[in-house]
Amino acid sequence: MYRGAIICVDDERSVLISLRDQLNRILLDRNYKIELAESGREALELLAELNEEGIDVPLIICDHLMPDIEGVDLLKQIQGLYPEMLKILLTGLAELDDIVRAVNEASLYRYIPKPWDQADLELTVREALRSYERDCLLEAQNRDLQREIGERRQAETLLLESEARLESILNSLEDVIWSATADDLQLLYLNPAAAQVYGRSTQDFFASNRLWQRDVVHPDDRALRESFLELLRQEGHRGVEYRILRPDGEVRWLSDRARVIKNDRGQVLRIDGIIYDITDRRRAEEKLAYDALHDGLTNLPNRTLFMQRVEAALQQVQQGPSQPFAVLFIDLDRFKLVNDSLGHAWGDQFLIAIAEKLRQCLRPCDTVARLGGDEFTILLDNSQANADTIQIANRILSTLEKPVRLGDRYLFTSASIGIAFSHSRYAQASELLRDADIAMYRAKSSGRGRYAIFDQDMHAETLQLLQIENDLRTALEQGHFSLYYQPIVNLANGSLAGFESLVRWHHPHRGVIMPSEFIPIAEDTGLIVALGEWVLRQSCQQLYNWQQQYPQPSQDLIISVNLAGQQLQETNLVAVIDQILIDTGLDGRCLKLELTESTLVENVEAIVKTLTYLRDRHIQLSIDDFGTGYSSLSYLHRFPVSTLKIDRAFVEQMMGDGENFEIIRTIRALAQSLGMKVVAEGIETPEQLARLTSLGCELGQGYYFSKPVTAAEAEVMIAQALPWRDYQPAGQTPAGQTPAGQIPAGQTIDPREANNLLQHPTSERSSPAGSAA
C-alpha cells in the first residue's frame, strides 16, 4: 500500500524516466508511487483521478518549458486546486522573473536547475516530504487539540495520544534524551538515539546501570563525569564535555547538559538531560590546535611548540636537580641552490625527506622541529653527557650527507649544527635557541658540514658583529670608506695594465678595518648593494680623473671592481651602471667587473642575460678566484667573460706542490682555448713570477709588485708611465739604482732568466689585502 503519489511532469519522456528512476532509489524506504505526465493537461487529469481515488499527492515536480502549459502557469492552477501540495520547478534557464512569479503566484517550494545534481535532488525531495509530513502532522495535532477541547470526556484518551506523539518525536531525534533518578542515577528513560551515538542498545544501559554511569565513559574522563554529576546535584543544572568508548573502539566526544527536576513543593523528582554528539566539532578544534603547533609541510613541531617544550625543560632545571638537555640548531648548507635550480616544489619534497631523516636519528623522547625555510631545531631530552649529544650530532651529519632520492634525481646536502647545553644561567628558552643559533653560524663559517658547541666567547663575538653592523650603517651614511688600488701588471713587458679597487673602512675608534671583517656582514645585511654601488662610482670617477690629468699614460688603463652576488641579482643593475658611467664620464671599455664563481651558478639564465647586456656596453667581465668555487665548465663558455683570475691559493703553493702548478696550467690552457686572458693573483716571489710567465699568464698582481696603495700613490705610478722594472716609488730607491725586485731597464722578461733577474721586495711583503666590495 502506497503512502501517496509524487507526480513528475516533463515533455521529454527520457527526462521523466530518469527522474522516476532516481526518485524510486531516493524514496525506496518511503513507499511513494511515482506518477508521470508528459504535459500540463495530462498532469491536471492525473491529479483529478488521484484525488477521486483518495490518494494523497504531497509533491509535484514540474518542468518549466512545456508546449501546452508553461510550468509556472501549471503550478499556479494546481495551487488554486490543491494549495497544500508542495511544488518543485525544474528549469534549465533559471529566469529570475519566472521563479519569483512561481514563488508569489504558485507558492513554489523550490526550483532545481537542469541538469540537476542527484544529491541536490535527493536533499530537496526529502526535505519537501518531511516538510509536508510535518505540516500534515501539525494539522492533525491541531484537529486533535480542537477535538480535545470540545470533548472533555475523551481527555484521558487524548492525553495518551499526546504522550504517544511526544514519544514519536523523541524517537525521531538524533540527540540523546535521558532521565534518571536523582540519588543513584538509575535510568528512567533513554530515547533510541542512544543506540546510534553509543553503539549499544538502550536495553544494555537499562540492564547495567554501571555501564551507563561509568564503563561507557573514556577512562581518562571518568573522574570528570563523576564530578559533573556531583555538581549537578548541588547546583541544579550543569553541563560537561567528555569522551566515550564505543564497542568498536571509536572514541567520540559528547556534550551532556542536565537539570534537576523538582515539584511545586521543591522536592527533587528526577534528573533530565540531553546529550549532543560533538565529535566533528572537537576534531575540527583539535586540528586547528594541531596546525597552530606544527609545520604544515613536514608535520614536525613548529617554533611555538618547540619553544614550549624547551621552556618546560628549562623550568625543571631551574627548580632543582633534573636531567640535563641540549638544543641543536640545524641549517642545511646551500639549500637555496636546490630551490633556485629545481623549483620550490622539489625544495619542499627535499625538506620532507630531510625531516624524516632527522626523525630517524633521534630517540622517542627527543623533539625535532622546523622553524621555517631550511632551519631545524632539536631538543635532546635527558642528555646524560656532552658526548651523547656530540654522538647524535655526528650521526645527523653523517645521515644528511647521504643523497636524497626524489624521483629520478639524487640530491646532496650537508648541514651546520650549533649546540647549546642546558645551564642554570638561562632564564628563557629563547636564550638557549639564540646561543644554539650563534654556534650554528660558527660551524657554517668554519667550513660547513660540521657542528660547533656554544661558549661565552661566541656570544661576545656576536655582540661585536652586531656593533659592527650598526657602525657599518653609520659608516655608509657618514662616508667612512676609502678606496685603495692594487696595480695589475702586464707580465710580458712590465707595463701597468690597470688597478683593482679595494675598499677600506676607517672606523673612528678602531682605525682601519679590512674587508674580510666587514664585507660578510654587509652581505648578510644587504648593505653590500649600497656599498658596492659607492665603490663602483668612486672607482669610475677616479679613473676618469686620472685620464683627464694624464691622458697619454692612462688611456689604456682598466679599473677592476668586484661585483657582489647580491648586486648581480638586482634587477636594475645594468641601469645603475649605465647611470654611473654617464655621471662619471668614464668609457665602459675602461671598466672591468669581477665576479666570483659561486655567484654565477645561481639562476644561470638570468645572469647570462645580465652579463650579455654589460658586454654589449663594452664592459669587460672577469671571474675572480677561479678554481675555488662551484662553477661548471659546461656553463663557462656561456658567460661572456674575457678574463679568468687564478686564486692566490694556487699561486702560493705552486712552487712546492705539483698539483697546484698543474691546476694553473690547466686554467691557462682553458682560458686560451676560450679566447680569455689570465690574471694571476698573489704573486710574491720571483720564482712564482717566472713560472707563471713560462705558462703564458698575461697579467698579474700581488705584493711582489705592490701592496694596495692610495689614490695619490697610484697617481705617481701613472704619471711616471714606466715599465714596472723601472718604476721607482718616491723615497724608496736612490737615483740611478735598480729597485729591489725589479728588472733592469732595457731587458725583457724571459722565464728562463727571471729567477736571476728578479729579487723579492721583502720590506713590502705581508698577507694579501682584503677583498673588494
Q: What is the secondary structure of 264-275 as a DSSP string?
A: TT--EEEEEEEE
Q: How far apart are the first and last CA of the chain?
A: 95
d(CA 418, CA 761): 45
Using the predicted structure, report yes or no on whether residue 730 has a pLDDT greater than 60. Answer: no
Give the torsion through C-alpha atoms of 693, 696, 699, 704, to 10 deg. -10
Cell 670608506 identifies what position? Answer: 481
For 176, 363, 400, 409, 720, the CA distances from 396, given in Å and listed in that order, are 54, 12, 6, 22, 61
**Which of 329, 330, 358 shows the shortest CA–CA distance to 433?**
329
What nine digits make up the cell of 556? Answer: 689604456
SS3 string, 183-227, reads: CCCCEEEECCHHHHHHCCCHHHHHHCHHHHHHHCECHHHHHHHHH
The residue type at 385: A
| pLDDT tens readout for residues 198-239 | 999 989 988 888 888 889 999 999 999 889 988 888 888 889
Q: Three-class SS of residue 386?
A: helix
Using the predicted structure, report yes or no on whether residue 375 has a pLDDT greater than 90. Answer: yes
Q: So what's the pLDDT on residue 156?
A: 59
What angle, 0 to 180 degrees and rounded to 10, lies between the N-to-C axes of helices 96-106 and 71-81? 10
**Host H or E run for residue 7:** strand 4-9
The region, left, alpha or beta by phi > 0 then psi within -120 to 50, assigned to residue 423 is beta
- Which of 289-293, 349-353, 765-769 has the lowest average pLDDT? 765-769
| pLDDT tens readout for residues 507-547 | 888 899 888 888 888 888 889 999 999 999 999 999 999 99
Positive or negative CA dihedral for 432, 434, 437, 442?
A: negative
Q: Three-class SS of residue 484?
A: strand
Using the predicted structure, report yes or no on whether residue 741 has a pLDDT greater than 60. Answer: no
d(CA 435, CA 409): 36
Please tell me whether the peptide bond between 115 and the residue prior to it is cis, using omega within 30 degrees of 0: yes
| pLDDT tens readout for residues 82-122 | 888 998 988 876 566 767 776 777 788 888 888 888 888 88
Q: So what's the pLDDT on residue 93?
A: 62
Q: Check residue 294 and report its DSSP letter.
A: B
Q: Give the model's confidence band at 599: pLDDT under 50 very low, under 70 low, under 90 confident, else very high.
A: confident
Q: Give the model's confidence band at 736: pLDDT under 50 very low, under 70 low, under 90 confident, else very high.
A: very low
d(CA 419, CA 506): 36
What nine digits make up the cell of 30? Answer: 518511503
- Which of 492-501, 586-595, 659-668 has the lowest average pLDDT? 659-668
In this structure, are residues 20 and 34 in contact, taking their beta carbons and an 8 Å threshold? yes
| pLDDT tens readout for residues 433-461 | 999 999 998 898 888 889 999 887 777 77
Q: What is the secondary structure of 113-133 as a DSSP string?
A: ESSPPHHHHHHHHHHHHHHHH
**List of domains in the chain:** 4-142 (3.40.50.2300), 173-284 (3.30.450.20), 294-454 (3.30.70.270), 468-720+728-764 (3.20.20.450)
Q: What is the secondary structure of 511-577 as a DSSP string?
A: EEE-HHHHHHHHHHHTTHHHHHHHHHHHHHHHHHHHHHHSHHHHTT-EEEEE--HHHHH-TTHHHHH
736 CB neighbour count, 10 Å cutoff: 6
Using the predicted structure, report yes or no on whether residue 172 has a pLDDT greater than 80. Answer: no
Mean pLDDT of the chain: 85
Q: So what's the pLDDT on residue 18?
A: 93
- Which of 91-95, 258-262, 313-317, 459-463 has the lowest average pLDDT? 91-95
Using the predicted structure, report yes or no on whether residue 305 has a pLDDT greater than 90. Answer: yes
pTM > 0.85: yes or no: no
Give exposure, 602-640, as e/b (b: 16+ Cβ within 10 Å): bbbeebeebbebbbeeebbbbbbbbbebebeeeebeebe
d(CA 600, CA 5): 79
Q: So what's the pLDDT on residue 756?
A: 32
Using the predicted structure, report yes or no on whether residue 750 has a pLDDT greater than 50. Answer: no
